[in-house]
Structure 1
Amino acid sequence: MPISRAELPAEDAASLIDQLCERWADAEAVDRTSDPVRIDFANGSCYLQAQPDKLLVVVEAVDDETHDQLEGEVDAALEALKGVSLDIVWEA
């Protein structure tokens, strides 16, 4: 199962998680009761955790092709965050 992660500098990572959960609330299963927050997609999962001065994002999927697709979806959502400029680098 391919997994990648990114650590994004953020002064208020919790508000970024709020924005992402709102974006995915209608289409995906969002579990905000867990730490990290878990978003289940049809082809994998994304985990979000607010840490001091950064947002930790982990993406996992069942195979490489779906992992690449899901990583692209998460990239697009992160880049669309309001008032945030991020340099996203995924690490395997």
Structure 2
Amino acid sequence: MTLTAHVPTGHASRYLQQLCKHWGHKFETDFDAQQGRIALPMGAVRMTAAPEALTVTIEPKGDADVEQFKQVVVAHLDRFAFREGPLTFDWQ
């Protein structure tokens, strides 16, 4: 299963890099200004930054709690986007 959300923001690259740096202390990460990947115990998080949106894809492992996985990713990105207010995630 793969879930993807397109998150409208003008700061996609900043949030992508902040999240990868934040989790990079504990988990394997790989990122640049446009793309990022984080290997979490629940599964992989992949992100792509565009000028007007951040695309976030989660790939939960078979035993992962998908709702909790989404909540963890959303909570962390919202923390970095506190000046913008809560971000809008349209998971599909």
- TM-score tier by shorter-chain length is 0.7 to 0.9
Amino acid at match of 2:16: I
Count of aligned residue pairs for this structure pair:
89
Match of 2:5 in 1: 6
Q: 1:64 to 1:51 in 2, by over 3 A?
A: farther
Q: 1:8 touches 1:56 (CA, 8 Å); kept in 2?
A: yes
Match of 2:91 in 1: 90
Q: Which runs of 5+ in 2 are unaligned?
A: none
Q: 1:3 touches 1:59 (CA, 8 Å); kept in 2?
A: yes
Q: TM-score, normalised by structure 1?
A: 0.82
Q: Which runs of 5+ in 1 are unaligned?
A: none
Residue 56 (structure 2) pairs with residue 77 (structure 1) = no
Q: TM-score, normalised by structure 2?
A: 0.82
Tell me how far apart the structure 1 counterparts of residues 54 and 17 of structure 2 sit (CA, whole Å). Answer: 12
Q: 2:20 touches 2:37 (CA, 8 Å); kept in 1?
A: no
Identity of aligned residues (%): 26
RMSD across aligned C-alpha pairs, in angstroms?
Answer: 1.8
Tell me how far apart the structure 2 counterparts of residues 88 and 46 of structure 1 sit (CA, whole Å). Answer: 14
Structure 1 counterpart SS, 2:25 = coil
Shift of 1:64: 6.3
